[in-house]
Structure 1
Amino acid sequence: MPPKDDGDTPRPTSATSLLNASAAGAAFLVLVQVLSRLLTFVMNQLLIRYLSPAVLGQAAQLELYMMTILFFARESLRMALQRQAEATITDTAADQATKPDGNSPKAADGDKDKIVEGTVRGQAQTVVNSSYLAVPMGLAVVAGIYVLQSAYAALSGSSSGAPSDSDDQTASYFRLSMGIYAVASLFELLSEPGFAVAQQRLLYSLRAACESSAVIANCAVTLAVTVLAARYTGREGGLEVLPFAIGQVAFAGCLVVGYPWRLRAVAAAEGFSLVPKRIYSRTGQSYYFHAPTIALAGTMWFQSVVKHVLTQGDAILVAWFATTYDQGIYALAANYGSLIARLLFKPIEETSRNLLSKLLTTDTDTDDTTAKKDDKANEEEKVRKPPKGENITEALTILHLILRFYAILSTVIATLGPSLAPLALRKVAGARWADSPAAHTLSTYCYYIPLLAINGITEAFVQSVATTAQLRRQSGWMVVFSVVFAGASWGFVRFMQMGADGLVWANCVNMGMRIVWSVVFINGYFEGVSSGSSSGKVKLKVEWEKAMPGWLLMGVGVSAGAVARAVVSERGTLGDYVKGAGLAGVVGIVCLYSERRFFMDCYRLFKTARQR
């Protein structure tokens, strides 16, 4: 279990300290993701004998249902809160500036308990207060989904929320599980204030401790209930998907209890509360919710609707077109195929977005007089100060580093993955799954992973620095991309009869368009901040050619991939595994040799950051 963060640990402020903290944070989150996926993988291997493909398909539907609730309820708030500016005044100065003088109202609980905006306490309390808005948002999403399901059931004549190809008992379990998932999702949203504070304070080890204990509880409860149900009911499948729902309640419960318990020392030391509390402006006015932050979250929420459809479009289309059996086949292939994305790409994207926000987000260039005149103005109408030159350079270095790392990894995955993935599936899931269409779908998924990686980091950059107006423009383009994605899905799945493989190719089209938009934005951003830098000496741009791996690695990778397709079969004989391992070893050795300078640069960068 990762060690606790000390509540008195100072927050990093310099660019190098931020890089150091973010690197350590990424490592913690990667470890949590590895633990999470490893435990889930082991649990699935133990559960596979008790579950049918149809049950796995229903579990995939419920996971999509829960992810939809959580995404719409908290994602936009998380992104908006990450973009808060650093505290600009100390708590002592704030106390002196807000003493009652006849013009400033005195707080009912005394001056010492006042939480003033712009201070460390005020910043933390803003995060806590705003995060509680995720709970009513979650209730609204649950209610909205229920209304839509009821309307669809009335029109189609089917049972609301139940799989169309199941019997009455299975449908009953599914509806009960769906209700439990909704309650568990709302319960999990109550932990959002704790998560937001840990994220803002860069308390990654604390977050890792909370999430790892929740994952352990989820896996243990799900496995125990499944095995006991199968033993005492005497039939395969036992309680169908109900154990997954009970496990999700255990997961949410650990988060709700864990975050307040571990954050109590931090809250006491810094003087903020983990329950909503009034915040005072420097003019004496009070509020609970910071209006600019909520307005930005609202803008991001409308964008998140389209983003969720694009991100989860394959799951939505599978749930719409396929039977639960086919959904189980696709879910297995997609879960194994996206394993590296969940283990590695997601933590890097999350920590990069947090780091880039702190490096490149600045206050608006307004004094008190201007601020009074602009009370009714939109945020995008205010003039932003350009970031510091060293912060721009640091951000560009980080972007180059991550893009190059992703390109190297993608070269290996896209060349060897399609041939070796079916062998891996046969080893971990057995011949029944390896001989199904899931094997070919998993091979196709290897071409999608590189696009998933590049899109993750480029969109993380956009979300870190884009203004409200720019986010609105991105939302408009997202609508266009969603229409193209839907058309591509219909063309590949229905017209060309490509099935699950068609969904993978449609997602490739979607990701490609999103990457192009983000690349254009990033180029324009660096041109703007370079010309607007106060020093006038910062003339930087993204050198995309630096993100490409060396020709030696690409040549050997493509050649090894061609050889693998010719000599490695999907039968899974010992010879196939030996050939696959040998080709992977050759590519690995060439990778280390060809990219040795890059790896040394990464090592020196993080070593320097840790020393500072």
Structure 2
Amino acid sequence: MGRNILKSSLQNASFSIIFQILFRCITFVLNAFIIRTVGQEVLGIMNVRLLLLESTILFLSKEPIMKACLTDTKSHNWAQVINQIWLSVPITAILSLGLVYVWINVLSPTDEIYISQYRLGCYAIALSCIVEQVTQSVVLVAQSFCFVKLKVVFETIYIVSRTLIFVYLVVKSPNEAINAFSVAQIASAVILCFLYYGFFFWYIDRLNVIKSGKTSGAKKTIFSDMNDFPFTSINDFFPGVMENYERVLNKDLCVLTISFGKQSVIKQVLTEGERYVMTISPVLTFSQQSMYDIVNNLGSLAARFIFRPIEDSAYFYFTQMIKRDEPVAKQDQRHISESATVLSQLCNVVTSIGLIVVVFGQSYSHTVLYLYGGNKLVANYLPVTLLRFHSFAIVLLAINGVTEGYVFATMSNKQLDRYNYVMVIFSVSFLVISYVLTNIFGPVGFILANCVNMLARIIHSLIYINKKYKSTSYKPLEGLVPDRKFIAILVISGVATKLSETFNSSLTLHILIGAVFFVVTLGVWAVENKSLLRLGYDKYRRMSTKND
């Protein structure tokens, strides 16, 4: 591809972080609006039960094929790839039929007044998932050819449109909030589909005009690095249209898809395990589930809008830089050196962020919850306890995201298959531990179970990475060990802010003290990592110069 992989990966991470911040802000405001307008039980039905259905359908049908098709995009036979990505549509339809039946007829029922709305919500989720899968061929092309800003803009429109439609309908009919949720899901999915296809219809038309030489040089600039763009018509995004002199599907991509499919089932259980436990076993009421969901989302802010985009971009970067089925010694050593450096720096960054969250989370959980939800949210001490425990889970989540992303990006097909068996053990253990600890500690048990599983997955990833670079001079895992001065300032900040919380009666002063120590902590980290910051600044300056 003509575009720089590292540059696009960095841009993707940056824009995704901004997008996730926007999305989380909208979600928090929306949750507060729902609680004040229609109550906690409706929020539990939508945010836990229905969104779990959506997550399950999309993750199992989209994730395996998309990950496989993103591997080594420079070598793609795009006719085969388009055929393969469209397999997600019938897979989604089949999954939806089975899962909607389970959600309506097998799982514990809602209250009588919500039954009809809940059923419509299940069908609406299934339909919106199918529409989203119809869009995946153009989404894949946009990501493969580094249309980073396009993705962020369209997904922002998608989230904002869904929110506005929902709020408008709820204000008109507060008693039909779940119906409003259903309409908003379908409408926003259709809007996203039209946006993607509409853009590429225009883009391909303009690109064809430029290739024919019928336009001026000034208008060619935004298309100058897309000479390798293989699509000449919007119809090429549909299966069986592009010329294909080989078999219909790529055998290697099919094998890789199956491997990722097995992995996705297990990873979905690990990712949404507590929601499955809440859904299958009546451990918590819908009202309690909504409160746990609010605190869980608040506690996972760093994980969702910082660590997840970094993980996604790191996965894409490592898939392009490192070949799965070749030993490190036989690959391009410039790529190996750069990828080892990037991995070490990523480990350094995410570990540092996680430790900062742990330290300040112990002293400011009550403050954050009070500012967000007022006395009503902190009247029960459980939310504060949950948020404090979340801070420990976040540092593990941060490390696991980067290390496991590298593992998935560089494992061979055989290694992925073997790892699926390990993931089965993790999944079964997680469910058992979640059930046991939840019955002992209540909602806190979900967080403790997550910590145990994250730690086990991290250990596995560290063993794999260590073996990968054992025969080389590179030691990327050293990035996981913070500098001594940084650890020292974290300890000092933790003690000082805890004393402030205990003995200080002024909320404003407590926040100011925390702000001072937070800035000092960042300053110490910046001094200890001057070379990393200088490298990042140089990359940013070069990117800005090229864009100008």
Show the counterpart of 2:359: 415
Looking at structure 2, the residues matched to 550 and 576 of structure 1 have their Cα atoms a distance apart, in angstroms, of: 32
AA at the equivalent of 2:290: G
- How is 1:432-581 mapped onto 2 (pairs within 5 angstroms)? 432-436=376-380, 437-494=382-439, 497-527=440-470, 531=471, 539-568=472-501, 575-581=506-512
Contact persistence 2:337–2:474 (CA under 8 A): no
- Aligned residue among 295, 319, 322 for 1:357: 319
Contact persistence 1:64–1:315 (CA under 8 A): yes
Show the counterpart of 1:274: 237
Show the counterpart of 2:92: 138
AA at the equivalent of 2:494: G
> Cα distance, 1:599 vs. partner?
4.6
Contact persistence 1:423–1:577 (CA under 8 A): no
Show the counterpart of 2:534: 603
Confirm or deny that 1:71 pairs with 2:59.
Answer: yes
Confirm or deny that 1:300 pairs with 2:300.
Answer: no
Looking at structure 1, the residues matched to 502 and 44 of structure 2 have their Cα atoms a distance apart, in angstroms, of: 28
SS across alignment from 1:11:
coil
Looking at structure 1, the residues matched to 81 and 530 of structure 2 have their Cα atoms a distance apart, in angstroms, of: 37
- Aligned residue among 286, 304, 309 for 1:324: 286
AA at the equivalent of 2:393: Y
AA at the equivalent of 1:82: L
Looking at structure 1, the residues matched to 340 and 532 of structure 2 have their Cα atoms a distance apart, in angstroms, of: 15
Looking at structure 1, the residues matched to 449 and 250 of structure 2 have their Cα atoms a distance apart, in angstroms, of: 40
Looking at structure 2, the residues matched to 247 and 569 of structure 1 have their Cα atoms a distance apart, in angstroms, of: 45
Over 3 Å counting, the alpha-carbon distance change for 1:184 and 1:140 in structure 2 is: same
> Cα distance, 1:472 vs. partner?
1.1
Show the counterpart of 2:43: 56
Show the counterpart of 1:108: none
Looking at structure 1, the residues matched to 453 and 24 of structure 2 have their Cα atoms a distance apart, in angstroms, of: 26
Contact persistence 1:408–1:548 (CA under 8 A): no
AA at the equivalent of 2:33: L
Q: What do the CA deviations read for 1:131-190 (whole angstroms, capped 9, x no partner)? A: 21111111121122145457xx4xxxxxx55x54x4322122111111111111111111
AA at the equivalent of 1:133: L
Show the counterpart of 2:181: 244
- What's the TM-score once normalised by structure 2's chain length? 0.88
> Cα distance, 1:343 vs. partner?
0.9
Looking at structure 1, the residues matched to 518 and 194 of structure 2 have their Cα atoms a distance apart, in angstroms, of: 46
Looking at structure 1, the residues matched to 402 and 537 of structure 2 have their Cα atoms a distance apart, in angstroms, of: 19
AA at the equivalent of 2:491: V
Confirm or deny that 1:399 pairs with 2:399.
Answer: no
Q: Please list every run of 5 or more consecutive structure 1 residues that lacks an aligned counterpart in the other structure.
A: 1-9, 88-117, 154-159, 231-237, 366-382, 532-538
> Cα distance, 1:443 vs. partner?
1.7
- What's the TM-score once normalised by structure 1's chain length? 0.79
- Range with bigger deviation, 431-440 or 69-78: 431-440
Q: What do the CA deviations read for 1:307-356 (whole angstroms, capped 9, x no partner)? A: 11111101111222221111111111111111221111111111111111
- Aligned residue among 24, 29, 40 for 2:27: 40
Looking at structure 2, the residues matched to 442 and 357 of structure 1 have their Cα atoms a distance apart, in angstroms, of: 35
Looking at structure 2, the residues matched to 304 and 185 of structure 1 have their Cα atoms a distance apart, in angstroms, of: 17
Show the counterpart of 1:313: 273
Contact persistence 1:210–1:254 (CA under 8 A): no
- How is 1:43-122 mapped onto 2 (pairs within 5 angstroms)? 43-59=30-46, 60-87=48-75, 122=77
Over 3 Å counting, the alpha-carbon distance change for 1:260 and 1:603 in structure 2 is: farther
Looking at structure 2, the residues matched to 574 and 255 of structure 1 have their Cα atoms a distance apart, in angstroms, of: 49
Contact persistence 1:128–1:197 (CA under 8 A): no
SS across alignment from 2:36:
coil
- Aligned residue among 148, 155, 158 for 1:214: 158
**Which has more radius of gyration?**
1
AA at the equivalent of 2:190: G
Alignment: residue pair count = 513
Q: CA RMSD in A?
A: 2.4
Show the counterpart of 1:170: 114
Looking at structure 1, the residues matched to 373 and 176 of structure 2 have their Cα atoms a distance apart, in angstroms, of: 22
Contact persistence 1:170–1:240 (CA under 8 A): no
AA at the equivalent of 2:158: A
Contact persistence 1:303–1:475 (CA under 8 A): yes
SS across alignment from 1:361:
coil
Looking at structure 1, the residues matched to 530 and 447 of structure 2 have their Cα atoms a distance apart, in angstroms, of: 32
> Cα distance, 1:564 vs. partner?
3.0
Looking at structure 1, the residues matched to 116 and 429 of structure 2 have their Cα atoms a distance apart, in angstroms, of: 37
Confirm or deny that 1:264 pairs with 2:201.
Answer: yes
> Cα distance, 1:384 vs. partner?
9.6
> Cα distance, 1:403 vs. partner?
0.7
SS across alignment from 2:475:
coil
Confirm or deny that 1:22 pairs with 2:13.
Answer: no
Looking at structure 2, the residues matched to 438 and 205 of structure 1 have their Cα atoms a distance apart, in angstroms, of: 37
Show the counterpart of 1:373: none
Looking at structure 2, the residues matched to 591 and 75 of structure 1 have their Cα atoms a distance apart, in angstroms, of: 36
> Cα distance, 1:470 vs. partner?
0.5
Over 3 Å counting, the alpha-carbon distance change for 1:443 and 1:241 in structure 2 is: farther
Over 3 Å counting, the alpha-carbon distance change for 1:353 and 1:266 in structure 2 is: farther
Looking at structure 2, the residues matched to 134 and 606 of structure 1 have their Cα atoms a distance apart, in angstroms, of: 40
> Cα distance, 1:541 vs. partner?
3.0
Contact persistence 1:187–1:256 (CA under 8 A): yes
Show the counterpart of 2:225: none
- Range with bigger deviation, 78-87 or 303-312: 78-87
Contact persistence 2:162–2:184 (CA under 8 A): yes
AA at the equivalent of 1:313: G
> Cα distance, 1:600 vs. partner?
4.4
> Cα distance, 1:241 vs. partner?
2.2
> Cα distance, 1:206 vs. partner?
1.0
AA at the equivalent of 1:469: K
Q: Please list every run of 5 or more consecutive structure 2 residues that lacks an aligned counterpart in the other structure.
A: 208-228
AA at the equivalent of 1:568: E
- Range with bigger deviation, 329-338 or 267-276: 267-276
AA at the equivalent of 1:514: R
